[in-house]
Amino acid sequence: MTAAPGPGARRLEGRLIALGVTGSIAAYKAVELLRLLTAEGADVVVLLSPSATRFVGPLSFAALSRHPVESDVLDLLPDGRIGHIVVADSADAIVVAPATAHWLAAMANGLAGDVVTAAALATSAPVVVAPAMDGDMWTHPATVANVGRLREAFGYVVVAPESGPLASGQSGVGRLAELPAIVDAVVEALDSQPIRQPDAARRPPITDGTPREADLVSRRIVITAGGTREPIDPVRYIGNRSTGRMGAALADAALARGAAVTLIAAAVEVALPEGADVIRVESTAELRAALRNAMASAPAPGASDGSDGRIAKPADALVMAAAVADFTPSKPQDRKIPRAEGLTLELSPTPDLLGEVASLVGEKRNGKAAPILVGFAAETGSLERAPGKVAAKSIDFLVANDVSEAGSGFGTDTNRVTIFDRSGSKDELPLLSKREVADRILDRVAAALDARDSDAQTAGMQQPTSSEGRSR
Ligand SMILES: Cc1cc2nc3c(=O)[nH]c(=O)nc-3n(C[C@H](O)[C@H](O)[C@H](O)COP(=O)(O)O)c2cc1C
């Protein structure tokens, strides 16, 4: 026997519910159903049949569910996984509401021609079906037989339609059941079963995050983005695959949270946010110079970094999302090297920019609150080198990802990262949009800044004044 949930308890907390919507006039009601399911604590992913997309667009569903809407059975998820299989394998229940006569027939015959039938066929989770249609369609022997097969042979829960005015202008049985009754049927179908797939990484990807508060107002954040280009000669360079998406997402997120943002941008393929002070650089050497200026505790009088004195206050944090070259040509030429001469490149290692900043702020800001430093490490395969880097570089956080993994790394809109901190603990995040990854990183930065400030305040309060010191 399971304990009855207390008053106010959310009955679908932690559950993943797949909401299948098919081409009925009642499809608009599915938006409200989604809201009711999320109000019960469910994580909801929406599947639309192609006809359903003619009745309701995916935008409201995507915005409310925070998952991409799946409407084409042949489309893959952004990370390359097969959408309907991910849903089938991770959903605690599939609820099809409204279910058309056509969908009931397709399902009864196992025809996986749309994403809703395909997910239902591939799942071992309970399926709840709420039909809606014209009265004559509902009483037709074909529909009666199909509903019977779904109930008896498949074990589906059918929430029968109700009597009332129909889209045809007639009145009869065929109206979609009341939405709370459909939610109750889902809760009941799940009973006390454990959550099927608690690992968010194995659920459908999340597209958007909870909007954050303006918790970075009066903070100045320096962010680097894009890939450096190391000159071989005036025409050629050595570059990398960074597109600047992660850095731009960080800048966007930091601006939205009220920060003043200095964005040092190497080569990028994305638009940069308008509210940021953008400093363009190309090579690692230029990035190094811009970084030193941007991190300076106060701009040197008359010093110019191209930002026209925009650096008004010392940086509170640095997030190094740029992909900085590890090697640069030892002897870049100032004239184009002719093909006939042949070319053998000698490369020299570049300086560790983050390590340099760490020691710079350590020396120069002795006694004052130092900025929070966040590094990125793009690895291929294991992330085992990452924790050592946090200590070696003397930084606060290292964001590591395996760029060889599908959907993670260069040129994608998603990323799966692990955040390592100084204490040695790690936070393995699921596959998320880069904007959500940016917010998760800034959550840590904002908390670290608050902790830094309250430590400084406590130290200030405990510091004896000179008169107190003498009187002891
Ligand atoms: C305005 C309009 C309303 C419709 N409403 C319903 C309905 O409530 N129930 C139903 O079974 N079919 C309804 N249909 C017919 C379906 O849209 C049609 O059978 C379609 O092929 C269903 O595709 P699907 O089951 O793949 O979503 C409606 C059609 C139109 C044009």
Cα 114 to ligand 1 centre (Å): 14
Q: Could you give the CA distance from residue 470 to residue 472 in angstroms, rounded to a whole number?
A: 5
> What is the position in ligand 1's atom list of the atom closest to the CA of 104?
25
Q: Give me the CATH number covering residue 273.
A: 3.40.50.10300
62 φ, ψ to 5°? -65, -45
Q: Could you give the CA distance from residue 167 to residue 153 in angstroms, rounded to a whole number?
A: 31
**Statement: residue 436 has pLDDT above 50:** yes
Both 270 and 303 in one domain: the answer is yes
For ligand 1, whether the C-beta of 132 sits within 6 Å is yes
- Name the residue of 70, 72, 100 whose CB sits within 8 Å of the most ligand 1 atoms, as the mutation to test its pocket: 100
Mean pLDDT of 384-394: 83
Q: Could you give the CA distance from residue 260 to residue 180 in angstroms, rounded to a whole number?
A: 46
Q: Which of 283, 289, 360, 349 is nearest to 322 (CA)?
A: 283
Instruction: pLDDT band for 59, please (50, 70, 90 cuts).
Output: confident
390 and 420 Cβ atoms separated by less than 8 Å: yes
Query: SS3 sequence, 39-82?
Result: HCCCEEEEEECCCHHHHCCHHHHHHHHCCCCECCCCCECCCCCE
Both 195 and 268 in one domain: the answer is no
Instruction: pLDDT band for 384, please (50, 70, 90 cuts).
Output: confident
Identify the pLDDT of residue 467: 38
Q: Could you give the CA distance from residue 355 to residue 348 in angstroms, rounded to a whole number?
A: 18
Identify the pLDDT of residue 360: 79
Both 193 and 330 in one domain: the answer is no
Cα 187 to ligand 1 centre (Å): 27
Instruction: Look up the domain containing 229 and give its range.
Output: 220-460
- As separate numbers, helices (DSSP H) first and strands (DSSP E) second, the chain gives 15, 21
Both 226 and 266 in one domain: the answer is yes
> Does residue 208 lie within any of the structural domains?
no
375 φ, ψ to 5°? -110, 165
> Does residue 211 lie within any of the structural domains?
no
> What is the position in ligand 1's atom list of the atom closest to the CA of 103?
25
> What is the position in ligand 1's atom list of the atom closest to the CA of 116?
26
Catalytic residues: 240
Number of domains in the chain: 2
337, two tokens: 């090297």
Mean pLDDT of 99-125: 98
Both 310 and 351 in one domain: the answer is yes
Cα 125 to ligand 1 centre (Å): 26
Both 409 and 339 in one domain: the answer is yes
For ligand 1, whether the C-beta of 418 sits within 6 Å is no
Give the count of beta carbons closer than 10 Å to the beta carbon of residue 273.
Answer: 19
Q: Which residue, 202, 233, 257, sits at the end of a domain?
A: 202
Which residue minimizes the CA distance to atom 25 of ligand 1? 103
For ligand 1, whether the C-beta of 25 sits within 6 Å is yes
Q: Could you give the CA distance from residue 195 to residue 15 in angstroms, rounded to a whole number?
A: 6
In the chain, the percentage of residues whose pLDDT exceeds 70 is 87
Q: What is the pLDDT of residues 288-336, one digit of tens each?
A: 999 999 987 544 344 444 444 444 578 999 999 999 999 999 999 999 9
> Does residue 213 lie within any of the structural domains?
no
Instruction: pLDDT band for 131, please (50, 70, 90 cuts).
Output: very high
For ligand 1, whether the C-beta of 49 sits within 6 Å is yes
Mean pLDDT of 212-230: 94
More confidently predicted of 402 and 126: 126
The structure's pTM equals: 0.57
